[in-house]
Structure 1
Amino acid sequence: MDGAPFHLRDNRLLSLLDDATLQTLAPHLEPVRLHQGDAMYEPLRPMLHAWFPTDCVLSMLAANADGEMAVEVATIGSEGMVGVALYLGAELAHGLVFTQVDGGAFRMPADVFRAATRDRPALARVVLRYTHALMVQIAQGTACNRVHHIGQRCARWLLQTHDRVRGDTFDLTQEYLAHMLGERRAAVNAAASQLQSQGLIRYTRGRIQVTDRPGLEAAACSCYGVIRDQYVRMLAPVAP
């Protein structure tokens, strides 16, 4: 497998598990390297695995009634997992989940994951708390897309991605960012250019470098902090 090595506790949810629970699950967690565009789930197709990212970033898109993709509803990185719907009893995916930024992840067969959430209270507790944080992200992001201007939303999206990657630089085309924000490419280009002119990012040939993190946080709307703080609270270590 190419790329830097990664470990089970590189994923926040897995890191919250006690040693005994994690050792029981470890044989069923397969390390995989994901590349931009790889699909985890597709609309109305069976969900075959639960996924636990380490340093990749995954994107969750909702599906319209006719099967076309709508704007992105959530991004998922090392703080979380893909497969909450399995925990809630679903078998078919509602929308599309695919890789935004290359990196590592662990995957667990869906039937093993379902059994583990039934038999291992520590895992069920962690997944339940994460589910709430994910719901907050989806709800807050929906409101953000409605009321905040593209420059603020662009800064929020870049911050959320920066939180989940190793280092300050990651691959991202303007066309891709426009798709994620549900905006025309020209509008996204103007927003990214403004952030660059302020010295907050550097954008060259499909790569983004965050050069002023505090400044980028100041440029984002308050939704970034609301979502971040919810994950901090819900994924803090808790007593068994």
Structure 2
Amino acid sequence: MSMRNRLLASLHPDDLDAFEPWLEEVSLPRKRELSLPGEETLDCYFLKDGIGSTVIVSPEGHQTEIGVFGREGMSPASAVLGASSNPYRVVMQVDGSGYRIETKRLIELMEQRPRVRTMLLRWAQVFAAQAATTALSNAVHSVDERLARWVLMCHDRLSGDEMSLTHEFLSIMLAVRRPSVTTALHTLEGNKLIFSQRATIIVRDRRGLEAFAADAYGTSENEYARLLGDFREI
């Protein structure tokens, strides 16, 4: 099996051989929920393409995104830390596909194979760094800078420059109301960094977006490179 997930593709051949019998290829359409708060985590997902969104939900139903993952990672990260349930909602933000594995099988593989355990714990560290960076960015960066960061993060995880991101998802991603999303999109368009039409964003100037986002982008990406290798190498 040729692996299109960065974590699985980086496994030692012996470890990958142990994984393969337990991996089920699945289609993951947009809005498919992979995990719900408080429910037992029966399965874990390693994406091949598409983007998953990890969202925290308040008791009153307010939502904000704390992190995204794609072919570079897996979800929920809480499972590799031994937690039987995940406190977050995990939902597909962009259509994709991936490999599903029973959580109990994944835990067994981690217990039997130290290299697998080390890799997945490093991924959990990277995802924690992303969540922390999101909290900092929501506190100190403008909506325009945060939008540039999220567009870059989605661009990292997709093939090509076009992405389907609705205003509904963008408002959750940025923890703002939809009118603020519209204004931020217009700002990036005015700087000729993106083109936005309906539920589609097209990246026009990747380097310009990185410069615009400044220190809002790069911390968790650098952590991934430090612990797991080239972020975009599949």
Report whether the alignment pairs 1:211 with 2:204: yes
- The match for 1:33 among 1, 24, 27 is 27
CA distance in 2, matches of 1:125, 1:96: 25
Structure 1's unaligned 5+ residue stretches are 1-6
Residues 139 and 158 (structure 1 numbering): CA distance in 2 closer, same or farther, change over 3 Å?
A: same
Name the counterpart of 2:190: 197
CA distance in 2, matches of 1:221, 1:62: 26
Report whether the alignment pairs 1:125 with 2:118: yes
CA distance in 1, matches of 2:194, 2:174: 18
What's the TM-score once normalised by structure 2's chain length? 0.94
Tell whether the 8 Å contact from 1:148 to 1:221 is kept in structure 2 after alignment: no
Q: Secondary structure at the match of 1:59?
A: strand
Report whether the alignment pairs 1:56 with 2:50: yes
Tell whether the 8 Å contact from 2:57 to 2:88 is kept in structure 1 after alignment: yes
What code does the residue aligned with 1:32 have? V
Tell whether the 8 Å contact from 2:35 to 2:76 is kept in structure 1 after alignment: no
CA distance in 1, matches of 2:216, 2:199: 26
Q: How many residues align?
A: 230
Residues 8 and 42 (structure 1 numbering): CA distance in 2 closer, same or farther, change over 3 Å?
A: farther
- The match for 1:15 among 9, 21, 28 is 9
> What's the C-alpha RMSD, in Å, of the aligned pairs?
1.4
Tell whether the 8 Å contact from 1:43 to 1:67 is kept in structure 2 after alignment: no
Report whether the alignment pairs 1:108 with 2:108: no
Q: Deviations over 1:106-164 (max 9, x none)?
A: 11011101111101111101001111111111111101100100000000000000000
Please list every run of at least 4 consecutive aligned residues from structure 1 whose deviation after the TM superposition is greater than 2 angstroms.
67-70
- The match for 1:97 among 71, 90, 100 is 90
Tell whether the 8 Å contact from 1:55 to 1:105 is kept in structure 2 after alignment: yes
CA distance in 2, matches of 1:132, 1:17: 18
Report whether the alignment pairs 1:165 with 2:166: no
Q: Deviations over 1:63-93 (max 9, x none)?
A: 32x2624311111111111032122221122
What's the TM-score once normalised by structure 1's chain length? 0.92
CA distance in 2, matches of 1:95, 1:177: 18
Shift of 1:9: 2.6
CA distance in 1, matches of 2:2, 2:96: 14
Name the counterpart of 2:217: 224
